[in-house]
A and B are shown apart, each in its own frame.
Chain A
Amino acid sequence: MPRTTTQIALRIAAVVGVALFLYFLPQARTDLLNYDFAFVGIYFIAIVGLNVVSGYSGQISIGHGAFMCFGAYTTAVLSVNYGVGKYWTLPVAGLLTGAFGLLFGLPALRLTGVYLALATFGLAISIPLVAKRFEGLTGGGQGRQLSLLSSPIGGVSTNEWISYFVWAVAGVMFLGAWLLLRSSFGRALRAVRDAPIAAVSSGLNLARYKTLAFGIAAAYAGVAGGLLAIATSFINPDAFPISLSILLLTGAVIGGLGALEGMLFGAFFVQFGPKWAESISKHIHYNEATVQSTVLYGLLLLAVLFLMPEGAAGLLHRARFVLKESRRWLYSRNDSRATA
């Protein structure tokens, strides 16, 4: 599909617009906002990975928090128990969690749809409890305290540093996913999702692609989990509640499953959605703030899904379509005028 420079510029402008809007909405810009952005980046990585398995290969996972937990503990255990520099643990967190995802992907092959979703849900419940068991390794319920964050670069605050670092990693991971998904591998995944029978009859190994998708998604979540451990400097099983997995899936759906460009919006929503709901409801009433913010968050979610049924990526897609149509209309008028 050929594209003009204008189209690309428009596409970028749309993303910039959304980003700026999200950026200025919550509060005046502060140093602390950098810290929030680090978390947006962490969720971004996890959601991009989740999109590979749920969006492209069509396997719904409500257990992605478990993979983050696995990655976070890899980073924490390596850096606390074995003294590995915490930033260097990230590749290991990605690889180990990826391997774990592959292993999980094998039995998951027997399951589809709702049954697979339930299996991943079980993962989200059990992994944090497993982490609680091996106390010598994981610190049990008390968790692990990593060294506190500090910026190695003069003039750059700690919060700036962590967000730069997270976004550098996120940029690389995003590029990786993007290259992977536009390759024949991505095409194969889409084929597996949309027409499994046709895919198999064309010689695609269904099992291999489905398992690989799980492995890749898990590796992304593992890196995100490792970054979470670094950014918070402390993890324990309570840091990976089931709601985390659901939030991630929410982010992927809101971003637009099966498209990468909306994931940024999804990540913003995961980090800031609850905060906006909370800050709005706080203005209403102090003590019932939580109840109200939960209701508000639900309403916000509904509104977003109604307005953008295909997620942020779908909205971008539709905006492009409208633009194209209106231009075609404009050109055709010009053409008709010319012939007249």
Chain B
Amino acid sequence: MRRALFALGVVAVAAAILLPGAFGGSSADPGVTARSVTIGGTFPFSGPASSYAPIPVGMKAYFSYVNATKTNGKRGVNGRQIVFKAVDDGYNPAQTVQKTKQLVEQDKVFALVGGLGTEPTESVVAYANQQKVPQIYVSTGATEWGAKHDQQPWTIGWQPDYQSEAAIYGRYIRANLPNAKIGVIYQNDSYGKDYIAGLEGGLGAKKSQIALTQGFEVTDTSVTNQVLALRRAGVDTVMIFGTPTPTIRTYATMAAIGWKPQNIFLNSVSATDTFMGIAVARAGAAEVNGSISTYYTKDPANSRWDNDAGMKLYKSIMAKYAPSNAKVTDSLYVYGMAKAYTFVQALKAAGANPTRDSLMKAVLNMNDKSNPFLLPGVVTRTGPNDFFPISQQQLIRFNNGTWAPFGALTDTRPAGSR
């Protein structure tokens, strides 16, 4: 009996602790004061996707630069310092949900900016839209951020979407490699499947040129079976649609079995100089040379930008505001900085006294040609029927340790809004 009393006591204590806490009053525009704008986002500082951690660091560095720089005699944006709360979710949606609630309800952020990963982002879309918190410039290229605007009006992406990128490869093959026999090795998830859908769209009537598709799990430790199957099928053009590690593994496996397809395409996520360097080290330059991909940001590892004003600005900001162990040549920092630049432009356009509404209005009516970290000519643009901020990309070919652009910028903006 007494033990039962004790047990009840424990439960009672638990219940007492849970008595209503102070309910935070929701003012019209949380996160904005006369001196600051607080924003936040969730990023994988730990866990399986932690190689993307440089992105928020690049963003933070740019915000620090803006906060320290005077425009019209005021530091920051209209005299407001940007406070950027980048929190770790370990790429685990259960954590993303908790950390996002913390950002919105406790830290009272004005907007969620740059949250990373398709599934983690997915896990808080409903919440952000219910709360009417701008969830902008998410760090994922899933097509849905632009395609489902009417269902989730407070959410928008930033980078070119995966389907558009793959469509560029498809159109290139249609125009330049009419007899190509295509084999696809792809990550068996929504990310990889987005690419296949885009490739088929770009090939159009030539879709039948895809001879074989071979999926792998992101957790697989080998792609040998898939590579062998592609070789057996006699394909001469290999599309690698995966994240960096399996992409590098694919190169290494092809080299190990002594197979060099005539054409190799790989998605831009895996095509940074850092990752290509590893691929060359593992598979040899002969295997990797000639590979084709796309990019839209300036590449800090490429010497062609050494005298470019935007690249110089990037490097000076990195030197001054990034932690000393940051590897400046990692283009993920440029990605973060370019994204932070877009946010600052949107915040400026949101007016002297920004509200969540005015911010979204600015985000959805943007036409910015000034981003110094993007390739020349790449415009950040949105409009009434266009919810894909960046949709121009440049085809590039890898040779002897570096990427070289060829052809013109390709725009994949939905027809009619170009």
Residues of A within 8 A of B (CB): 3, 5, 8, 11-12, 15-16, 19-20, 23, 27, 29-37, 39, 41, 129, 132, 140-143, 145, 148, 156-157, 159-160, 163-164, 167, 170-171, 174-175, 178, 182, 228, 232-236, 238-239, 241, 243, 261, 264, 278, 286-290, 294
Contact = CB atoms under 8 A, between A and B. Distances in A.
B93 A234 contact: yes
15 contacts: A15-B10, A30-B22, A30-B105, A32-B101, A32-B106, A34-B21, A140-B190, A143-B119, A156-B20, A157-B20, A233-B127, A238-B120, A289-B45, A290-B46, A290-B50
B14 A264 contact: yes
Given A32-B102, A143-B119, A167 B93 contact: no
B contact residues, range: 35 or more
Interface of A, helix, strand, loop or mixed by DSSP: helix
Please list the 10 inter-chain residue pairs (A to B) with the smallest Cβ-Cβ separation, ordered nearest first: A234-B123, A290-B45, A171-B11, A239-B94, A141-B189, A12-B9, A287-B323, A232-B97, A32-B106, A32-B105
Contact of B122 (A8, A19, A132, A143): A143
Task: Give the most central of B21, B105, B122, B189: most A CB within 10 Å.
Answer: B21
Contacts of A228: 94
A236 B7 contact: no
A71 B274 CA distance: 41
B13 A19 contact: yes
A294 B20 contact: no
A288 B10 contact: no
Nearest to B326: A287
A232 B126 contact: no
A302 to B, nearest CB: 19
Contacts of A5: 2
Nearest to A228: B94
Contacts of B2: 3, 5, 8
Given A156-B20, A264-B14, A290-B46, A174 B92 contact: no
Task: Give the most central of A20, A129, A239: most B CB within 10 Å.
Answer: A239
Contact of A286 (B14, B60, B102): B60
A16 B16 CA distance: 10
A259 to B, nearest CB: 13
B247 to A, nearest CB: 18
B17 interface: yes
Interface in B118-148: 118-120, 122-124, 126-127, 130
A32 B109 CA distance: 14
A241 B47 contact: yes
A19 B22 CA distance: 19
Interface of B, helix, strand, loop or mixed by DSSP: helix
B181 to A, nearest CB: 29
B88 A232 contact: no
B407 interface: no
Interface in B239-260: none
Nearest to B85: A282
A20 B18 CA distance: 11
Given A35-B98, A129-B217, A167-B14, A142 B92 contact: no
Contact of B21 (A20, A33, A167, A170): A33
A171 B91 contact: no
A289 B46 CA distance: 10
Contacts of B322: 287
B24 interface: yes
A218 B106 CA distance: 34
A32 B98 CA distance: 9
A174 B7 contact: yes
B45 to A, nearest CB: 4
B101 A141 contact: no
B57 interface: yes
B3 interface: yes
Nearest to B14: A167
A288 B326 CA distance: 11
B14 A143 contact: no
Contact of A39 (B13, B93, B98, B217): B98
B45 A148 contact: no
A303 B82 CA distance: 38
B15 A167 contact: yes
Contact of A278 (B3, B47, B88, B101): B88
Contact of B13 (A12, A156, A287): A12
